[in-house]
Amino acid sequence: MVATLLAPPVGVDEARALARELLTGDRLRHTAGVAARAEDLAETIGDHDAEILVVAAWVHDIGYGDRAVDTGFHPLDGARFLDGLGWPARISALVAHHSGARFVARPLGLAGALARYPDEGTAVSDALT
């Protein structure tokens, strides 16, 4: 998949705000830690994708938020929630595939739904996972 720049208004500030709106407690602390680690790793993947990695890190677990739960499979629920908000497809796909989601989706009967989101297999997706 060809990398694309984030189109305003979706950036780190918006991703952080969305995570803080949907997540609480340990889940929010975990997410903030993942985002901090993503900031550390961002310099290793290049300026072009650095912001995308940090944005995806902030929203990677929003599928756990009560408003986002649909299937009960948080990577897919998070991706669908982002789609509903009109976020960039690349961010939705990164969220959909974090944490090796493809390995869990099949036994849950959700492989077809997950397949809607391309697994880009790039340094960005590796860093997020």
What is the residue-wise DSSP string for 94-107?
HHHHGGGHHHHHHH
- Reported as a single tens digit per residue, the pLDDT across 78-107 is 999 999 999 999 999 999 999 899 999 999
How many other C-beta atoms are found inside a 10 Å radius of the C-beta of residue 73?
21
Give the per-residue pLDDT at 48: 80
Residue 98: both structure tokens together: 């974090």
- Reported as a single tens digit per residue, the pLDDT across 33-63 is 999 999 999 989 988 899 999 999 999 999 9
Does residue 37 contact residue 57 with C-beta atoms inside 8 Å? Answer: yes
pTM, entire model: 0.91
User: In whole angstroms, how far apart are CA 102 and each of 28, 47, 49, 77?
Assistant: 24, 28, 23, 14
Give the per-residue pLDDT at 122: 94
Does residue 102 contact residue 28 with C-beta atoms inside 8 Å? Answer: no
Max CA separation in the chain (angstroms) = 37
Give the per-residue pLDDT at 9: 61
- The angle formed by the CA atoms of residues 128, 101 and 120, to the nearest 5 degrees, is 55
Residue type, 63: G
Residue 128: both structure tokens together: 């997020």
**Dihedral sign, Cα of residue 91, residue 82, residue 32, residue 70:** negative
